[in-house]
Homo-oligomer: A and B are copies of this chain.
Amino acid sequence: MKALQDKIVQDGKVLSETVLKVDSFLNHQIDPKLMQEIGQEFANRYKDAGLTRIVTIESSGIAPATMAGLILGIPVVFARKRKSLTLAGNLYSSKVHSFTKNETNEISVSKDFLKSDDVVLIIDDFLANGEAVKGLLDIVGQAGATASGVGIVIEKGFQDGGKLLREKGIRIDSLAIISSLEDGKVTFAEGELAR
């Protein structure tokens, strides 16, 4: 997605060969117009998939997921990273390790908002080693729902999450795939993966 790639080049900060900071438009500050364009792109790709619900994870997945949900006319559920008092019980849960934050969170979705007849698009901001997506797929599976695919804003193509998930036959739509952050420079993957 060209507008996203341009934004990454313009405003992203390469902190190391593995860390790209996009706090200025996705992870801390949000660019609502770009989120709308991202939501539109996900909606275009999944408009014929018969989706009934979008599942994402707090916090950075919420903005693009909500935009996609608005365009597709379906609700969005965001998995919570900790159990809150009002959410206790009645949950699907899975453990997710974040290498960036070096911590393991239990993510949870209420059984009220994910049913066995749901056809789900999973949306998340980043795909690196795939831990968060695996946790969300686990939760969708626990509900007996169908995961139609996974929409990712930025995939770190040099980490193995995308490869492992695609090898399992899971449809992954990444709007920008980064093949390298070497020499402080963002290089995008080309060809069919980048679509």
Contact = CB atoms under 8 A, between A and B. Distances in A.
A43 B2 CA distance: 29
B100 A85 contact: yes
A30, A73, A100: residue with the most chain B Cβ atoms closer than 10 Å: A30
Interface in A152-178: none
Contact of A113 (B28, B58, B75, B80): B28
Interface residues of A, number: 42
A176 to B, nearest CB: 18
A96 interface: no
Contacts of A102: 85
Interface of A: 15, 19, 21, 23-25, 27-33, 35-36, 58-59, 62-63, 65-67, 69-70, 73-78, 80, 84-87, 100-102, 109-110, 112-113
